[in-house]
Structure formats: structure tokens, C-alpha cells
Amino acid sequence: MSEISNAVNMSFRVDKNLKKQADELFKKLGLNTSVALNMFLTQSVREQGLPFAVTLETPSTRLLDALDELDKIERGKVNKKRYKNVDEVLKDLDE
């Protein structure tokens, strides 16, 4: 990044709720909003376009539910039919 002596202040308007959500996200990523915006601008210039996405990997509710169901099945808390081979599964699917 440029030396601090070349730094300038930027002012722009942003929705209050959006800023709060962004601040919280950047904090989780170990950044502050100023650093994140500098990263965005630097990468934009480098790529000559809109850059990368920095995201938290959050599993979908559907995946979390499936993992929970699998855990319950493995612990014997939910009885599910067990199959010996794929042919048995396919037979049940056809019925």
C-alpha cells in the first residue's frame, strides 16, 4: 500500500444498517472497515475491475439439518432402513 504521507481521507454515505453489518463481518475476518476498503480498492486497481469476494463459509440450513440427521442416525437415535448395496436402494426408489 502507499506510504501514509500519501494518504487522503474519503467520505461517502452508506446505509447505517449496512455499515453495521459490514463492520461486524470485517471484525470476524480480523479486519476493520478502513483496511477492508483499502484492500478492495487495491485489488480493484490491480484487477482493473471488481475484485474478489472475502466471505465466511456458512453451511446452508439444509446441509446443517442433513448433518444433524446423519449424526442422530449414527448414534441410533433415529431408525432408518439400512441397505447392503446400491441395488437395494434403487429397488426402494422404484417402488
* pTM of this structure: 0.50
Distance CA 21, CA 27 (A): 10
65, 66, 69, 75: CA torsion to nearest 10: -120
Whole-angstrom distance, CA of residue 87 vs CA of residue 27: 51
Q: For residue 1, is pLDDT > 60?
A: no
Continuous H helices in 1-95: 16-28, 33-47, 61-74, 86-94
* CA gap 20, 14 in Å, rounded: 10
pLDDT at 2 over 60: no
**Residue ranges per structural domain of the chain:** 9-47, 61-94
Give residue-wise pLDDT tens across range 28-86: 999 999 999 999 999 999 988 878 666 778 888 999 999 999 899 888 888 888 888 99
